[in-house]
Amino acid sequence: MTTFERNVSSLSLSSPTGSEQSAVLVIDDDVGTTETFGAVLRPAGFHVGTAACGADGLAMARSGLFDVLLIDQRLPDMLGTDLARSIRQDDPNVPFVLMSAWLTTDVTVLAMKLGASNVIEKPLTIEMMRDAVLSTLKNRPEAPAAGAIRTANIPRRVSEDQPSGSAAARWAAYVLKACDSGVDLRTLKDWGRSAHASRSTLIEICYLVGIQPRDARDFTRLLRALIHSKTNRCQPEALLAVGDRRTLHALMQRAGLGAGSNVATMSVGQFLRTQQLIARDNEGLKVLSTRLLTTRDRE
């Protein structure tokens, strides 16, 4: 065993979230930094994602799959503080830590104004990596409810018990539970809370039925907004907690609801046929369609 391996194994490193695995995204073009974070965190049960530039980091952060972001200040395509600003515009609650080998007072002050949980200077020790992740997770604030709407007239479609049966049936049950939520489910954690399931459970069931978790989340958000828009007599877009029109447009495009789509008058059946997030022959979608499309919904 190397000295490095002995140092890692001697650390008491566990997720404060209990049995649910936490996910960390390291955005840094320094391969040594990303590999070391992986070596420290993965053996302790953390999911670790990496991105070598700001553009890739932004796309991965927007997936909503990560609990903590570790951002280097000097990225090949942008400054870490600029990246953090863009990420926080999408999700003001996602915690991040800024790292830099060239820290200045101005950079530190700016990072803290942007909401950084911590600002740490490179080179990093294993203990610094551990403390940065665990302290940020421990102090992570709960996301406020967004896009709240009235739901008294919307019947429950499934029981509050955990779904059973095939993977496709379980996935469909989780989607149906999410459709009963009174708020937009912007992240997998939000979806999990509404469905009484952990995020790791949702990720697992999505992969079991052959659906990318991000696609399943966006599909569920749009389906929920469409269903609730009928009851609340509003545009589905009004029920999506999206910060800017460009992000909303991208979400609609991913669902096949671009220019020329009249979402306001679209039925659930039309959406299920038009959306491009999940393959039409997917078993999970087939089960969901059977359960969701009542005689009133079918065309």
Q: What mean pLDDT comes out for the span 77-96? A: 90
Range of the domain at 200: 167-292
pLDDT of residue 252: 77
Residue 68: both structure tokens together: 């903590």
Q: Of 8, 241, 16, whose CA–CA distance to 125 is shortest?
A: 8
Given pLDDT bands bounded at 50, 70 and 90, which one contains residue 171? very high
**Residue 124: pLDDT over 90:** no
- Between 112 and 248, where is the model more confident? 112
Q: How many helical (H) and strand (E) elements, i.e. helices and strands, does the chain have?
A: 13, 5
Given pLDDT bands bounded at 50, 70 and 90, which one contains residue 141? low
Question: Total structural domains in the chain?
Answer: 2
Q: What mean pLDDT comes out for the span 214-243? A: 83
pLDDT of residue 79: 95
pLDDT (tens digit per residue) in 5-18: 444 344 444 444 44
102 and 223 co-located in one domain: no
* Domain end residue (candidates: 119, 138, 157): 138
* Domain end residue (candidates: 120, 138, 156): 138
Q: Does 299 reside within a domain?
A: no
112-116, 132-136, 142-146, 188-192: least confidently modelled range: 142-146
Percent of the chain residues past pLDDT 70, beyond the cut: 78
CATH assignment at residue 31: 3.40.50.2300
Q: How far apart are CA 100 and CA 102, in angstroms?
A: 5
Q: Does 205 reside within a domain?
A: yes
| Angle in degrees, 0-180, between the axes of helices 188-195 and 213-232, rounded to the nearest 10 | 60
- Between 265 and 162, where is the model more confident? 265
Given pLDDT bands bounded at 50, 70 and 90, which one contains residue 146? very low
132-136, 162-166, 198-202: least confidently modelled range: 162-166
Residue 231: both structure tokens together: 């009851």
Q: Does 297 reside within a domain?
A: no
Q: Which amino acid is it at 200?
A: S
Given pLDDT bands bounded at 50, 70 and 90, which one contains residue 220? very high
